[in-house]
Structure 1
Amino acid sequence: MTQNSGHERGTGQDTTEVEIGGGRAGVRGRRRVRRLLGVGLVDYLGVGLFVAFSAVYFTRIVGLSTGGVGLGLGLAGLIALGTAVPIGRLADLVGVRNTLIALHLARAAGTAGYAAVGEWWGFLVAVAVVTTADQSVSALTQAFVAELAEGADRVRTLAAYRTVANLGISLGAPLGGLAVGLDDAAAFRAVVLVNAAAFVLVAGLLATIPAPPARGAATRVSGWGALRDRRVWGLASIDTLLQLWLPVLNLGIPLWLTMRGGLSAAWLGALYAVNTVFGVVCQMPAARLAVSVRAARRCQVAAGALLAAACVLLWSAERAPAAVVFPLGVVLLSCGEVIAVSAAWTLSYAVAPDDRRAEYLAAFGMGRSVGRHVLGPVLITALLQAVGGVAWGILAALFASAGIGTLFVRLPPDHPAADAREV
């Protein structure tokens, strides 16, 4: 998988070797990418273990109310948004890899704290640490990939990383689900501690990947930096809307299926499986469609159209056969997802200056966090309750407008991402 992600048509060479210069340097480059993919697999195996039963754990074992868990997660999300750019600036100053190692250790500490908390305030502290680290890890991993690869190889490496992440979650979630079946507090806490240990292992594995020294250039820049860049705001706003695909999948489709679909809740497992398999199989091909700025613009337009079409199709579940509408809707949603994600990688690289890359990618990532974890859940649940099926028409309009909006953001044509070879 990792080797194929670096191949170009018409050549038998690994493009990582071509970009770095061949020979021993090329071998080192490939080894670093492989190690990073190994890091991703361990990371998301741990995440998959815990995500399968986290809600059950906090309510049944810790004894928190559902409202208390929701409030804690919401506050943690706001804290994470407020710290994203400062953490990005720190990474530009002291080194992306070093900051990633510290963040994974913070995730380990916060996750281990889950096994010890017994009241809401302790839960809030632990979940704030974990959520803040989680959201910064995503942007800084993208920044670290930019230090290990060049041009089109960056997007291909990120696609391979996301594929490995999906595999990790797919393997870890069933194992975590076994703890729910045991219904034993000790088993729950043991899995939580295994998750924490996985993050420690991830930090150790990252420490073995050689990385360039910290630039230090960020200390010479004052002011708001990335937060004043209109291109970042424009792209982040568009990504906020396109990333609504996740709450549509996690909230909109389950709610709509029970409200209007005429199908049993047992269908949800199969629908999630379709999305997961699609992500594993199609993320790499989708990345090949978005390796230049021009191609990424087209991909975001296409993603907006696919996501809008998925919403229109789901809206038709009131009249059309639900057993056909829901699977096809998930397929269209999954197509839009993998294309939108790949396009966002290329476009965010295009606006991030090399000496402040982590800060800019962190600022861009704020839009993703808002769409997935703040705006999306509130908007989708409120719309479905207020206007029923018309909610899908509104969501379709938002997705379509987001795709078209990409065409109006001015991007630098001379950025390495813009010159990357299309495959």
Structure 2
Amino acid sequence: MIGRLRAFVAATLVPRTPLGRWLAAAGIVDAFGTGLFVTGSALYFTRSIGLTAGQVGIGLTLAALAGFVAAVPIGALADRLRAGRVYLALQVWRSAGYVAYALAGNFPVFVAVACLIGLADTAVPPVWQAMTAAAVPAEDRVDTLAKARAVRNIGFGLGALSAAVVIQIGTRPAFMALVLVNAVTFLGEAALLRRAGFGRLVTTGTGGGPRRGLGADARYVTFALLNGVLTYHMPLLSLGLPLWIVTATAVPPAMIGVLVAVNTALAVLLQARLARDAVTLPGAAGDMVKAGLSLGAFGVAAYLLAYVGVAWLAVALALVAVVLLTGGELWQSAGAWTISYELAPPERRARYLATYQLGSALQGILAPLVITQVVLRLSGGWLLFAGVAAVAGLLHRPLAARGAALVHPPEPAAQPPQTI
């Protein structure tokens, strides 16, 4: 029994390489602080700083815009200075930003600090991916990314549970401690990765390949935008589905926490397994197709929730919807790792990965408006989302086939010997 448990943990959570295991260990530290802060941040901003909900929304939107603008320049800097070095600097920057959050006492200071943090937040995922790719062999890249993400989900969940204690206490010192602990976790992650030598990794290839044309770059941007559509699983879980449950369904509001817990548990257990096909570009495109269809099916299930008047049947359908939403999340993340990496030129990889991240960043800016004003307000809003998500997934297969031809062009035909 113990042997089977160890094998399961190794297959699900433990990367195969030593540096991959360092990444997972550092990631759980980072994710604990993030889960702690995200869970209690709304109450900290409103109760401790004294902001209104509208002011919080404005500040976070401006922060997302700052990140959108800064992501590509920071990616280009990572190509010049090595992604590991830049990643460590970003974590120190974020730590300082959250210390400043603990000292913020009014709206202008909150906006300034939020924008400074936003400059780093959007750039962190692509720089982290470039650093990870340099740390592990190509055949272990997707496995490492998947297991590190699963481990981060555990850390996030533990942080969220810990935040419940802070919320129960409810005092300003308790909320300030929450923010400062998050700041310390960024420094902790940076210290672990620095000790493991990530700052010294060579994270870009040589520039000996053929120069890319505008068509290749346009295709890469198209992939980024399509990926942004598929990343709507994030705000739908935290915003769209809870609001829909409370306003339009027979699902008891207390089930929202259970549904989030189901999502987290499935993400931990299944991320590595569902990422296995994404080690190749065609397999990654197939995962994106699955993601789009799964999110489309989720949209249909969410639409039907409004027509189920029996509470237990509505709860069962809500659970099915969350399983579909989680499937879309896991397939999207796995497919995006390979597509964004394989179609990026080695000598400018971090910059291209940051470009790919812009699709997700744009989603972060637009999602609250799209979800509240379109998906939830229109009579067929959920069905509209279902159709858009399915199309975004299906488009990946033909685009990836053409992208693969650019990355691995066919060998020129041998010329017959010329005679004189």
**TM-score, scaled relative to structure 1:** 0.87
Q: Distance in 2 between matches of 1:67 and 1:5?
A: 41
Q: Distance in 1 between matches of 2:392 and 2:40?
A: 34
1:289, CA displacement in angstroms?
A: 2.1
In the alignment, what sits opposite 1:420?
none
Q: Any residues of structure 2 matched to 1:143-182 within 5 Å, and which?
A: 143-182=130-169
1:368 has 2:357 as partner? no
Q: Cα gap change, 1:377/1:84 in structure 2, threshold over 3 Å: closer, same or farther?
A: same
1:92 has 2:79 as partner? yes
Q: Cα gap change, 1:226/1:46 in structure 2, threshold over 3 Å: closer, same or farther?
A: farther
1:415, CA displacement in angstroms?
A: 5.3
1:331 has 2:335 as partner? no
Q: Distance in 1 between matches of 2:365 and 2:332?
A: 19
Q: Deviations over 1:74-104 (max 9, x none)?
A: 0110010000000000000011111001100
State the AA in 2 paired with 1:334.
T
1:313, CA displacement in angstroms?
A: 1.2
In the alignment, what sits opposite 1:382?
373
1:278 has 2:266 as partner? yes
Q: Distance in 2 between matches of 1:324 and 1:3?
A: 32
Q: Distance in 2 between matches of 1:251 and 1:408?
A: 32
1:407, CA displacement in angstroms?
A: 2.3
Q: Distance in 2 between matches of 1:170 and 1:392?
A: 28
Contact conserved, 1:94 with 1:216, CA < 8 A, in 2? Answer: no
In the alignment, what sits opposite 1:234?
222
Q: Any residues of structure 2 matched to 1:300-339 within 5 Å, and which?
A: 300-320=288-308, 321-339=313-331
1:411 has 2:403 as partner? yes
Contact conserved, 1:290 with 1:299, CA < 8 A, in 2? Answer: yes
1:6, CA displacement in angstroms?
A: 10
Q: Which ranges of 4 or more aligned residues in structure 1 deviate by more than 6 Å?
A: 223-228
Q: Deviations over 1:20-66 (max 9, x none)?
A: xxxxxxxxxx2211111111011001111111110000000001111
Q: Cα gap change, 1:6/1:178 in structure 2, threshold over 3 Å: closer, same or farther?
A: closer
What runs of 5+ residues in structure 1 fail to find an aligned partner? Answer: 8-13, 17-29, 417-423
Q: Cα gap change, 1:216/1:274 in structure 2, threshold over 3 Å: closer, same or farther?
A: closer
State the AA in 2 paired with 1:303.
A
1:217, CA displacement in angstroms?
A: 6.7
- Let me know the Cα RMSD of the aligned residues: 2.5
In the alignment, what sits opposite 1:11?
none
1:412, CA displacement in angstroms?
A: 2.5
Contact conserved, 1:152 with 1:292, CA < 8 A, in 2? Answer: no
Q: Any residues of structure 2 matched to 1:58-137 within 5 Å, and which?
A: 58-137=45-124
Contact conserved, 2:24 with 2:151, CA < 8 A, in 1? Answer: yes
In the alignment, what sits opposite 2:385?
395
Contact conserved, 1:2 with 1:160, CA < 8 A, in 2? Answer: no
Q: Distance in 2 between matches of 1:207 and 1:2?
A: 26
Q: Deviations over 1:148-204 (max 9, x none)?
A: 123231111000110011000011111122111001111111121111111111111
Contact conserved, 1:155 with 1:342, CA < 8 A, in 2? Answer: yes
Q: Distance in 1 between matches of 2:166 and 2:104?
A: 19
Q: Distance in 1 between matches of 2:213 and 2:405?
A: 21
In the alignment, what sits opposite 2:255?
267
1:375, CA displacement in angstroms?
A: 2.2
What runs of 5+ residues in structure 2 fail to find an aligned partner? Answer: 1-7, 409-420
Q: Cα gap change, 1:309/1:213 in structure 2, threshold over 3 Å: closer, same or farther?
A: closer
Q: Deviations over 1:243-297 (max 9, x none)?
A: 1111211121111111221122101001101111010001000110211111111
State the AA in 1 paired with 2:319.
P
State the AA in 2 paired with 1:386.
R
Q: Distance in 2 between matches of 1:241 and 1:115?
A: 34
Q: Cα gap change, 1:214/1:405 in structure 2, threshold over 3 Å: closer, same or farther?
A: closer
Contact conserved, 1:46 with 1:172, CA < 8 A, in 2? Answer: yes
Q: Distance in 1 between matches of 2:186 and 2:85?
A: 14
1:226, CA displacement in angstroms?
A: 9.5
* Structure with bigger gyration radius: 2
Q: Cα gap change, 1:413/1:227 in structure 2, threshold over 3 Å: closer, same or farther?
A: closer
State the AA in 1 paired with 2:387.
A
Contact conserved, 2:205 with 2:346, CA < 8 A, in 1? Answer: no
Describe the SS at the equivalent of 2:298. helix
Q: Distance in 2 between matches of 1:351 and 1:384?
A: 32
In the alignment, what sits opposite 1:53?
40
Q: Deviations over 1:372-423 (max 9, x none)?
A: x1222211110145314x111000011111011112322135859xxxxxxx
State the AA in 1 paired with 2:234.
L
Contact conserved, 1:231 with 1:351, CA < 8 A, in 2? Answer: no
Describe the SS at the equivalent of 1:290. helix
State the AA in 1 paired with 2:222.
G
1:249 has 2:259 as partner? no
State the AA in 1 paired with 2:201.
P
**TM-score, scaled relative to structure 2:** 0.88
Describe the SS at the equivalent of 2:403. coil
Identity across matched positions, percent? 35
Q: Cα gap change, 1:125/1:322 in structure 2, threshold over 3 Å: closer, same or farther?
A: same
State the AA in 2 paired with 1:380.
I
